[in-house]
Amino acid sequence: MEHPYGYIKDDKVYLKGFLNQEDRVIGEVKENEASTIKYFEDRFELAKKKVADLKKDIEENQNKGSFLMKLIHLRESLMQYDALGDFVPLINELNEQEEFLDEIIQANRERNLEIKRGLIEEARAIMNDTDWKETSEKFRDIKLRWIKTGPVSPELKDEIEEAFKETTDTFFENRKNYFEGLALQAEENIKVYESLVEQAREAFNMQDVKQAFEISKRIQKQWKESGKVPAEKRQPLWDEFSRLNNKIFGRFKRTMQNRPRHGQGHGHGGYNHPPRLRPFEVVKKIEKLAESMRDLSLGDTSPEKISKAKRLQAEWKSLPPKKPREAQQYSRLFVFFTDIVFEKSFLHKLARSKYDNYYDMDEQEQKQVKISIMKDLISRDEKELETVKENSENFRSHEPDFETMLYRKISAYKRKLDVKNHIIKELSNK
């Protein structure tokens, strides 16, 4: 039995070849030839409906490109579909729809490329910002918009993704390094507070009430100028520090009130003061301490140097709080070289913590790592100093100690910068 698009032969139903395909068997006669032909013609109507439904979906939906794979699968299935009818118009219809979708997809990809390049530029503009909270929020917004933006051409995908990853990685790596540095700096700051508490204990146990009081005044000023640490770690230290200083002050006040007045005997109820160094001896001692600390500040840090530096600090603390005027220059040098010793130790710890392979590097690589870290620390200190100056202009106080406290705070930042610049200069000249 013949059919415009097929035939029956030996009780088998054939579909005539189309689009370079050979004739193929699509079924066999069941009850009779007429009903069998009708069955396969009805199946062809189902195929036509699938094509019509897909075309309608494409027309009615905004995201037309999402139908491309469905179209390709339907076209492939029609090439092997068991039905009798003219498949060529259906295939042609799908080909036309594919061209239509390709144009839309290409236009979308070009628009997506333009959007993503804009997001990359937006990210590059802020990737070196150090306002961590605000910039993190901006990056979260940029990432969200990136995810919502559709794909670009496959040949550009890797390039564009890598460019975006580079900007985000730069910012989040900078942020990570900053907070790691803060954590290490906080550890160093805690040691300063612990040292001040220990000095308060030593002062409290002194027999010389006046000297204890002088030390108490000095270490309270140092406490105010010390760096930031988490509140939960600082509070217990502060509780003990303030308790000891209050007791020192109370004892000093009682002693001054009970001190014999003019004309009264001086041989009873007094305190035996340890022999004091004469002013020129203090100057000589400070000069010697400054020279010793300068020697320790040269070259790389080591546990032995830190131990020696702490012993020199202990000797320094045993000197009278009020130094002779002639010793001022040596006093400043002692403090400066002390800062260099401990800053180098901190820098070494920071380099080790940030680079697991630090000890596998050669000397030149280690030096470059330290220079890079030190530049970041200098940048951070400069920004903090600028903030302090701006805040001082905006929030001036009429408290009597405000100007003095502000001067000391700014001077402390400048000294920190001097120390860091000295170290970076030494590293660069190696």
Q: Where are the domains of the chain?
A: 2-108, 189-257, 279-429
Which pLDDT score is estimated for 177? 83
Q: What is the mean pLDDT of residues 320-330?
A: 80
In this prediction, residue 115 carries a pLDDT of 92
The stretch 262-281 carries a mean pLDDT of 55
Residue 323: its pLDDT value, please? 77
Q: What is the mean pLDDT of residues 174-181?
A: 82
Contacts of 56 (CB under 8 A, 6+ apart): none
- pLDDT tens track for 342-401: 988 888 888 888 888 888 888 888 888 888 888 888 888 888 778 777 766 655 545 555
Which amino acid is residue 365, in one-letter code? E
313 or 44: which leads in pLDDT: 44
Query: Quick one: what percent of the chain has pLDDT higher than 90?
Result: 25
* 8 or 281: which leads in pLDDT: 8
pLDDT on residue 118: 93
What pLDDT does residue 276 have? 65
pLDDT tier at 292 (50, 70, 90 boundaries)?
very high
Which residues does residue 28 pair with via DSSP β-bridges, in sequence order? Answer: 12
Buried b (16+ CB within 10 A) or exposed e, 62-97: eebbebbeebeebbeebeebebbbebeebbebbeeb
DSSP letters along 82-131, please? Answer: ---S-HHHHHHHHHHHHHHHHHHHHHHHHHHHHHHHHHHHHHHHHTT---
User: Could you tell me which residue, 373 or 257, shows the higher pLDDT?
Assistant: 373
Chain mean pLDDT for the chain: 84
273 DSSP assignment: P
| Most confidently modeled range among 116-120, 227-231, 234-238 | 116-120
Identify which of 404, 388, 392, 403 has the alpha carbon closest to the alpha carbon of residue 221.
Answer: 404
The pLDDT of residue 78: 93
pTM above 0.85, yes or no: no
Give the residue, 276 or 19, on which the prediction is more confident.
Answer: 19
Name the residue with higher pLDDT: 168 or 398. 168
pLDDT of 412 over the 90 cut: no
